[in-house]
Structure 1
Amino acid sequence: MLGVIAAMVVALMLAGWAWERARRNAGIVDVLWAAGMGLAALVLAAGGSGATLPRVLLAVLAGGWALRLAAHLAVRVFGEPEDGRYRHLREHWRDRGLPFLVFFLGQAVVVVLFALPFAAVAANPVGRVTAWTVLGVAVWLASVAGEAVADRQLARFRADPSNRGRTCDRGLWRWSRHPNYFFEWLHWFAYVLLSVGSPLHVLSWVGPVLMYLFLRYLSGIPWSEAQALRTRGDDYRRYQKRTPMLFPWFPRDVDRRSPHT
């Protein structure tokens, strides 16, 4: 099943790369990553060897999460100029097609890796509702709702022209510099819980571990914060000093001389 998913996602990313070459907007890769994850969940749910209940939950929960994320990202990609992170990459790579091709195909590999927790759920033979099932659904609901709220708060802030060049520190963004990333990471624990009893349960831990590494050290927080410093400078540096990076906590009482921070 993973081979089928890999072939489908490679085709999807090649189409995305062609779209990027035509429109010079690499943000489409994020939309396709989310769509690829939804596709992987549906394929594994349909062809998994486990009981019906965990496979139905996988299709509904992982598919719903991917659909919401893909739709949210698509609004930004099709309605705004290219994300500053990708503009920076475009300048660094001198707009050459080959580096972007490797980048897009690399995202296909990432989809396959993140499909491993889905495979663990799809192989779960436990066909009844257990405490782990209830807890897994609860974690999914809380994390997806939290990410949706964070995304909506940021979108509302960015839509106000008076906030141009300023840092969003309202709502969930007051307690974490990246609440959307925090809830995205938390979401992967739902599949750890839903796969309890599966012979492939150990694979479910790939989700939260790999997502933390990506967000904390690779393509998440480092890219976002570097772009924020380029565009918002000292305003963002003050935000960094007083606001926890990932895990929500009380903001620190530091210099708040700027009227909008």
Structure 2
Amino acid sequence: MLATFAVALVRGVHRIVDVAWGLAFTAVALVTWTLSAGYGDDTRRLAVTLATCLWGLRLAVHIARRGRGHGEDPRYARMLARAPGRPALYALRKVYLLQGALVWLVSLPVQAAAYLPEGVDVLLVAGLVLWAVGLTFEAVGDHQLARFKADPAHRGRVMDQG
């Protein structure tokens, strides 16, 4: 997240932190894969790493495409306009460091799973099925929302179906 903050300062736009969110989970999964070598079950380690990387990369690509060609995200523009003192340091504290801490916290199950000694079991299979269902719902929902927003007749409306 610190590297993302540096890039955001150079580019003058903080919306890239949203792309970095998915990439950060991918990075945690890959680092965990590397550090857990020789400890956990290799099949479980691979499954958890691949599932996390696929989810993180899909999310990052989706958000990058959605934001391409746009300026600053209005949420960040409003937040920084009200920031006390130096807006860049405020963004570092309130956005980047907070999201970095949340990535670490949310990814704790991924990190722990890499060290489990058990091989393929019911929980791993159930987790992968749940992951696949969730990823499918997320991708379909993102696609439906993009189509909805692309229709000029929906300008200013909220998508409440699908």
* TM-score, length-scaled by structure 2: 0.88
Unaligned runs of 5+ in 2: none
Structure 1 residue 44, shift from structure 2 partner = 0.8
Q: How does 1:73-92 map to 2 (within 5 A)?
A: 73-92=63-82
Structure 1 residue 69, shift from structure 2 partner = 0.6
Q: Which residue of 2 aligns with 1:221?
A: none
Does the CA-based 8 Å contact 2:49-2:110 persist in structure 1?
no
Q: Which residue of 1 aligns with 2:32?
A: 44
Does the CA-based 8 Å contact 2:80-2:90 persist in structure 1?
no
- Give the aligned residue type for 2:155: R
Q: Deviations over 1:98-119 (max 9, x none)?
A: 1012121222222221221111
- Give the aligned residue type for 1:31: V
Does the CA-based 8 Å contact 2:32-2:114 persist in structure 1?
yes
Aligned counterparts of 2:56 and 2:91: Cα–Cα separation in 1:
23
Does the CA-based 8 Å contact 1:158-1:164 persist in structure 2?
yes
Q: Which has the higher contact order (CA 8 A, sep 6+)?
A: 2
Aligned counterparts of 1:15 and 1:87: Cα–Cα separation in 2:
20
* TM-score, length-scaled by structure 1: 0.56
SS at match of 2:68: helix
| Alignment pair present for 1:104 and 2:96 | yes
Q: Which residue of 2 aligns with 1:161?
A: 152
Paired-residue identity, %: 39
Does the CA-based 8 Å contact 1:46-1:55 persist in structure 2?
no
Aligned counterparts of 1:80 and 1:153: Cα–Cα separation in 2:
20
Point out 4+ residue stretches in structure 1 off by more than 6 angstroms: none
| Alignment pair present for 1:148 and 2:103 | no
Aligned length: 158
Q: Deviations over 1:52-89 (max 9, x none)?
A: 11101011101111110111111123233332222221
Q: How does 1:135-214 map to 2 (within 5 A)?
A: 135-171=126-162
1:118 to 110, 114, 133: 110
Aligned counterparts of 2:50 and 2:14: Cα–Cα separation in 1:
29
Structure 1 residue 162, shift from structure 2 partner = 2.5
Tell me the C-alpha RMSD between the 2 structures: 1.8
| Alignment pair present for 1:20 and 2:8 | yes
Structure 1 residue 148, shift from structure 2 partner = 0.8
SS at match of 1:79: coil
Q: Deviations over 1:235-261 (max 9, x none)?
A: xxxxxxxxxxxxxxxxxxxxxxxxxxx
Q: Which residue of 2 aligns with 1:240?
A: none
